[in-house]
Amino acid sequence: MPKHIEGNFHTLEYGEGVLRLIDQTRLPGEEVYLECRTEEEVAEAIRAMVVRGAPAIGVAAAYGMAMAAARRADLSPEEIRAALDAAGERLAATRPTAVNLFWAIERMREAARASGAAGGEALAGELLALAAEMHREDVAICRRIGDLGAGLLPEEGQVLTHCNAGALATAGYGTAGGVIRSGFRDGKVKRVWVDETRPFLQGARLTAWELSRDGIPVTLIADNMAAFCMQQGRVGVVVVGADRVAANGDVANKIGTYGLAVLAREHGVPFYVAAPMSTIDFKTPTGEDIPIEERSAEELRTIGGRRIAPEEVEVFHPAFDVTPARLVDALVTERGVVRLAAGESLETLSGP
Ligand code: MRU
């Protein structure tokens, strides 16, 4: 039986007014950390994808809000609440699709509104404690998702995953990455097929790095090889993360996910999505209502700074797509598993 796997790096770390982020734009070549001291710096790190992945963005934003309060601890609670509104707007303007960002900002603002703290120092202390709690909570949630999801995996599983929904995309352990980690621990994951995930290459740069470090067998493929791998029977199950799940179960995730879901259905391969409750957006009725981030043309016209397409060519670059609920065999959350394709509703997860 393979030994239990622990991530041995930290996606985010906070101490003494500084949020340290492993710089995901520099991996796998360099393992360097970026230090953020202000909410503006945190917002810029999210925008530039130094930190990325829905739950990790949420936790980073929570610390950004806490830092906005801590830097103004000499002000009154009312003045701090006003500063938090501005900080929240700034952080929210960075990336539109991952709902965890807005969920985390709102949770911090709500805590500030509800607080009875007599002074700024006390309020700032409460907010920092809440951000740290959200950080710890995210790791625990990922472990729960991982263990639940591992139960769905076939024996001797060959898992295909897309983008990075691992420890790097969360406060630790990962969602889809957590299912893979728990599955490997339980002897159920024999091999992980990792899509390179054009154009930002989260699969090649991040997932391949993260899983290899943990001794999990990884085979990297280009995105256009997934169909052939499934046709050849090399893939037993697909597990991905999510950036936002609409109330009807439609799933927004990294561009390319929808294609994999269609392929999985064609080849009779189960398609699973792993995500925390904070990724479910009951206020957004269907996938059509999910805002899809469009990123720069240059990200597509270049690879690693090297031009691969004419400078002037027109580009369409949606960073996410939407997989209809009917193609999602199971959504794994910390509250349980919903068989969306079989017609089960997300309502089964709601409640306190
Ligand atoms: O653009 P990114 O790298 O932030 O996109 C990340 C993804 O699409 C992940 O699959 C998703 O956030 C789930 S992370 C646990």
Question: Mean pLDDT over residues 267-296, rounded?
Answer: 98
Q: What pLDDT digit, counting tens, does each position of 107-161 carry?
A: 999 999 999 999 999 999 999 999 999 999 999 999 999 999 999 999 988 999 9
CB-CB contact of 161 with 196 (8 Å): no
| pLDDT reported for residue 352 | 64
Q: Which residues of 232-248 are buried (b: 16+ CB within 10 A; e: fewer)?
A: eebbbbbbbbbbbbbbb
- The C-alpha atoms of residue 134 and residue 138 are separated, in whole angstroms, by 6
Cα distances (angstroms) measured from residue 95 to each of 43, 51, 56, 110, 181: 9, 11, 13, 21, 28
Per-residue pLDDT band for 5 (boundaries 50, 70, 90) equals very low
In this prediction, what percent of the chain has a pLDDT beyond 90?
95
Task: Please indicate whether residue 168, judged by its CB atom, sits closer than 6 Å to ligand 1.
Answer: no
Question: Mean pLDDT over residues 49-67, rounded?
Answer: 98
- The C-alpha atoms of residue 248 and residue 260 are separated, in whole angstroms, by 20
Q: What pLDDT digit, counting tens, does each position of 285-343 carry?
A: 999 999 999 999 999 999 988 999 999 999 999 999 999 999 999 999 999 999 999 99
| pLDDT reported for residue 137 | 98
Task: Please indicate whether residue 242, judged by its CB atom, sits closer than 6 Å to ligand 1.
Answer: yes
- Find the catalytic residue in 147, 195, 223, 243: 243
Per-residue pLDDT band for 211 (boundaries 50, 70, 90) equals very high
Dump the DSSP string for 274-342: E--GGGEETTS-SGGGS---B--HHHHHEETTEE-S-TT-----BSEEEE-GGG-SEEEETTEEE-TTT
Task: Please indicate whether residue 175, judged by its CB atom, sits closer than 6 Å to ligand 1.
Answer: yes
Task: Please indicate whether residue 202, judged by its CB atom, sits closer than 6 Å to ligand 1.
Answer: yes
- The C-alpha atoms of residue 80 and residue 68 are separated, in whole angstroms, by 8
User: Is the per-residue pLDDT at 264 higher than 90?
Assistant: yes
- The C-alpha atoms of residue 178 and residue 268 are separated, in whole angstroms, by 23
Task: Please indicate whether residue 60, judged by its CB atom, sits closer than 6 Å to ligand 1.
Answer: no
| pLDDT reported for residue 301 | 98
| pLDDT reported for residue 350 | 79
| pLDDT reported for residue 3 | 42
Q: Whose CA is nearest to atom 5 of ligand 1?
A: 53
Q: What is the DSSP letter of 226?
A: H
Q: Which residue bears the tokens 């929570």? A: 62
Q: Which residues contact 224 (CB under 8 A, 6 or more apart)?
A: none
Does the active-site annotation cover 214? Answer: no
202 CA closest ligand 1 atom index: 3
pTM above 0.75, yes or no: yes
What spacing in Å lies between the alpha carbon of 119 and ligand 1's midpoint? Answer: 38
CB-CB contact of 131 with 59 (8 Å): yes
Q: What pLDDT digit, counting tens, does each position of 72-100 carry?
A: 999 999 999 999 999 999 999 999 999 99
Task: Please indicate whether residue 244, judged by its CB atom, sits closer than 6 Å to ligand 1.
Answer: no
| pLDDT reported for residue 156 | 84
Per-residue pLDDT band for 6 (boundaries 50, 70, 90) equals very low
What spacing in Å lies between the alpha carbon of 253 and ligand 1's midpoint? Answer: 6
What spacing in Å lies between the alpha carbon of 74 and ligand 1's midpoint? Answer: 37
User: Is the per-residue pLDDT at 199 higher than 80?
Assistant: yes
